[in-house]
Structure 1
Amino acid sequence: MTSVTPTVDRASLRRAFLASLSGTSLEWYDFAAYSVAAATVFGHQFFPAGDPLVSTMAAFSTYAVGYLSRPLGGFVFGRLGDVLGRKRVLVITLLLTGIATFLIGVLPTHSAIGGTAAVLLVLLRFAQGVGIGGEWGGAVLLSSEFGDPKKRGFWASAAQVGPPAGNLLANGVLALLALLLTEEQFDSWGWRVAFLLSAVLVAFGLWIRLKLEETPVFKRIAESGERPSAPISEVFKYERRALLAAIFVRVCPDVLYALFTVFVLTYMTQELGMSRSQGLTAVMIGSAGQLVLMPAFGALSDRMNRRKLYLFATIAAAIWPFVFFPLVSGRSFGLLLVGIVIALVIHAALYGPQAALITEQFTERLRYTGSSLAYTLAGVIGGAIAPLLFTSLLAGFDSWVALALYVVVTAVVSAVGIALAREARDETQVVVS
């Protein structure tokens, strides 16, 4: 039976939406800024060696650390979120990620403190990953648990807007720095500005989150005495199907995003001989569209069966690479733009409803833990290794067909997840004033 919780005012809903958006935007702002710095600066600044390629590869290894440490954050903060509450844990994760990012901006380089600089960079990157691992699950719940469960697709999409928002913001900052500074100035100190500016996002996120009350759902759980004492054990013992479903549905969208925002830049420059700026422009235009499309698809999933919408988008994701690669073979920027924009529309159709689809697999009292574990574990087997696998497949088969087939395999995995997934449970109705 559906009961009614105390009224939630629309101001609280808007604050919860912004609080969720700010945290995930910081995450992806950091990742975008870090990827550029790892490719251009960190190699010789923190890992100097005789071979520039070796230095760059060492710098990229710290990028991977940010993914590999995410599951630890999911385990630690997911558990705390179900025991202590959503708001309190999200303040901690935001501070952890933000402080680590800011400290990278003031970190002495190898020339100042020797090998200690590289060690500190890896430790700060590890801390970022831990904070991010606990951020997503709570950010989704923060916005969705203040809203009507019947509109969860829309409210939960706040956390999903973070990737395009963060990428656009980071690329905008880096483009402005490139315009204002010489190459020597950027290499010397300009790159630090991008990391130091993360403090603005942290301050805004803290201001919003500290003004919020705990979510109505967690309040009800706490008042009823149903808070779990060992949520991780309970998820693995009682909600294994939900966890597998939530992990599997994330794999294809992560790989699709890696293909059309990261690896596509390598493919178009090395295989097609096009300029990197053309690819970046296309990705930024597609990302700008996602700012609107993700909440729109989230809202659409509230009006139709969420699993069916996700399945249709998964099928589209499996088909589109077979259209995209022949489409761009003529090296036309216009066709490249169309191809990337459509790919990111498909991704938005998956990523927008994804937060709601994942969180509603778990019971309310285990939702932070289950969602965090699914997000972080899927990230390791999906997005973290996708660029490396795409590179290896292209080198090994010298054909885009191998890349497209890899996407098909991930689509099958996500389709299995959709089959395992349950429909949304009947939950407490939140009244909005």
Structure 2
Amino acid sequence: MAGPKRTRSEVRTAAIASLVGSALEWYDFFLYGTAAALVFNTLFFPNFDPLVGTIAAFGTNAAGFLARPLGGVIFGHFGDRVGRKSMLVITLMIMGVATFLIGVLPTYAAIGIWAPALLIGLRIIQGIAVGGEWGGGVLIVSEQAPAHRRGFYSAWSQTGVGLGFVLSASAYSLVQAFTTPESFLAWGWRIPFIAGIVLTAVGLLIRLRVMETPAARQQAASPKKAKLPVLEVIRTQPKSILITFGARIAENGALYIFLTFSLAYAAKIGLSTGLVLTAVVTGMLVESFAMPLWGALSDRIGRRPVYLGGAIAMIAWAYPFFAMLDSREPVLVFVAMFVAVVICHGAMIGTQPAFFTELFDSRVRYSGVALGHELASVVAGGFSPIIATALFAWAGMSWPISLFMVGMGLITVIAVAAAPETNATDIDDTDSPSEIGDYDPTPERISR
């Protein structure tokens, strides 16, 4: 049974609300990654060797990624049974409070071992919140968009992810510009975290205005809604979960090498971290508005060709990326980051929302999308900066990191190649897999 269709104005409102709310929530999450690369190794792990301290700081960053699947399971459960909108409001509130508390957290010099312990605890809370947010933020748009433009509209939710990073990195750059290195370490790094509570309030006002999706309303009112959506999606659609997981490995793993490890790498080779951070921010800003274009392209030629193109490009760019950083030439640094982020990563992440949405049945869609997406975040995004740092410590050169990125790219190529083409799938079908057999998004379900 198909749900009521939304007007173009309602779809645009949903896209804007998802973009803004997502940008603010990911601003909070990305702040931590930047701080882990720049200050946490000194302030919370001062007794370690500098390189070991960097690995430890990235380890606390990884704690947030370890918690993301838990957030996906919790909020996916209620998102499938109650609705998408309420989960998005709750996750944003949790994220805002946790980020503010990091901003006022005493350092190791003040409270000793309790400082890194509390830091890890708050990072875990952030991870739970963002683990529940991504799936809902995507579905609030993709379930309301017309099938033939689902790639374009749903990609705007990913634009919020990109803009969230730009906001967080810009906040750090602004604070660094108006403080001395000593005052930045003493108190300046706290300002972006504390300011997050104000941005959270703005995001809540916007998210409260968005309408619930037709599919979620139908499921909430249905007497046949899944009792335990995460267990049902594992039982009925394991292949879709594995495809989602594999497709994320290159996209997420490479992203955090580009965004966070590159800053630490720059410091180790004598390259200005300010230059790299500016290149990263510029690349992410351009990518944020390229994402809907990649999504629109997937509406025209299919999800698989665009996604595969991004993964293959990332494999090909893994070695040139570090070679250009090693040159220390500003122009080459910008070209390296632009191609890596806008083209390689952009093609994958811009296609992702529609692609993942179309892989799952509406009865368990939130749980399925969140589970596959967040499990990959643990394996790829959470540990890729740590692995890259360890590889660099072992070899003293970048080539092992390039090989690591090639390996992640190959996993994603295999996963996407094994997926069906889902472009323009009718996602309003609310029959449960238990009633119609294991879900299979074959051409019979696809309306062209």
TM-score (norm 1): 0.90
Counterpart in the other structure of 1:312: 309
Whole-Å Cα distance in 1 between the matches of residues 309 and 148 of structure 2?
21
Counterpart in the other structure of 1:178: 176
The answer to whether the aligner puts 1:298 opposite 2:313 as a matched pair is no
Structure 1 counterpart of 2:339, which letter? I
Structure 2 counterpart of 1:288, which letter? L
Q: Secondary structure of 2:205's match?
A: helix
Counterpart in the other structure of 2:328: 331
Whole-Å Cα distance in 1 between the matches of residues 374 and 325 of structure 2?
33
- Could you tell me whether the CA contact under 8 Å between 1:67 and 1:129 is conserved in 2? yes
The answer to whether the aligner puts 1:286 opposite 2:258 as a matched pair is no
1:238 shift after superposition: 0.7
Q: Could you tell which deviates more after superposition, 284-293 or 400-409? A: 400-409
Q: For 1:11-32, what per-residue CA distance to the aligned partner results, in whole angstroms no more than 9, with x for missing partners?
A: 4323321232233323432233
Structure 1 counterpart of 2:292, which letter? P
Counterpart in the other structure of 1:427: 427
Q: Secondary structure of 1:69's match?
A: helix
Whole-Å Cα distance in 1 between the matches of residues 42 and 339 of structure 2?
38
1:263 shift after superposition: 2.7
Superposition pairs of residues 94-105 of structure 1, within 5 angstroms: 94-105=92-103
- Could you tell me whether the CA contact under 8 Å between 2:21 and 2:204 is conserved in 1? no
1:39 shift after superposition: 4.5
Counterpart in the other structure of 2:145: 147
- Could you tell me whether the CA contact under 8 Å between 1:246 and 1:421 is conserved in 2? no
Name the CA shift for 1:298/1:66 in 2 (closer, same or farther; >3 Å). Answer: same
Whole-Å Cα distance in 1 between the matches of residues 112 and 392 of structure 2?
37
Counterpart in the other structure of 1:219: 217
The answer to whether the aligner puts 1:361 opposite 2:355 as a matched pair is no
Q: Could you tell which deviates more after superposition, 15-24 or 232-241? A: 15-24
Choose the corresponding residue for 2:250, options 249, 252, 260.
252
Whole-Å Cα distance in 2 between the matches of residues 30 and 406 of structure 1?
28
Q: Could you tell which deviates more after superposition, 208-217 or 103-112? A: 103-112
Whole-Å Cα distance in 2 between the matches of residues 195 and 413 of structure 1?
35
The answer to whether the aligner puts 1:20 opposite 2:50 as a matched pair is no
Superposition pairs of residues 35-184 of structure 1, within 5 angstroms: 35-43=33-41, 45-47=43-45, 49=47, 58-110=56-108, 115-184=113-182
Structure 1 counterpart of 2:426, which letter? D
Q: Could you tell which deviates more after superposition, 35-44 or 173-182? A: 35-44
Whole-Å Cα distance in 2 between the matches of residues 264 and 52 of structure 1?
16
Name the CA shift for 1:78/1:195 in 2 (closer, same or farther; >3 Å). Answer: same
Q: For 1:360-381, what per-residue CA distance to the aligned partner results, in whole angstroms no more than 9, with x for missing partners?
A: 1111111100011011100111
Q: For 1:175-197, what per-residue CA distance to the aligned partner results, in whole angstroms no more than 9, with x for missing partners?
A: 22122233343333322221111
Q: Secondary structure of 2:189's match?
A: helix
Whole-Å Cα distance in 1 between the matches of residues 105 and 325 of structure 2?
42
- Could you tell me whether the CA contact under 8 Å between 2:73 and 2:367 is conserved in 1? yes
1:289 shift after superposition: 0.8
Counterpart in the other structure of 2:340: 343
- Could you tell me whether the CA contact under 8 Å between 2:279 and 2:334 is conserved in 1? yes
TM-score (norm 2): 0.87
1:324 shift after superposition: 3.4
Whole-Å Cα distance in 2 between the matches of residues 248 and 170 of structure 1?
28
1:232 shift after superposition: 1.1
Q: Secondary structure of 2:245's match?
A: helix
Q: For 1:274-294, what per-residue CA distance to the aligned partner results, in whole angstroms no more than 9, with x for missing partners?
A: 222221222122111112111
- Could you tell me whether the CA contact under 8 Å between 1:325 and 1:400 is conserved in 2? yes
1:40 shift after superposition: 4.7
Q: For 1:37-63, what per-residue CA distance to the aligned partner results, in whole angstroms no more than 9, with x for missing partners?
A: 334544555555486666665444322
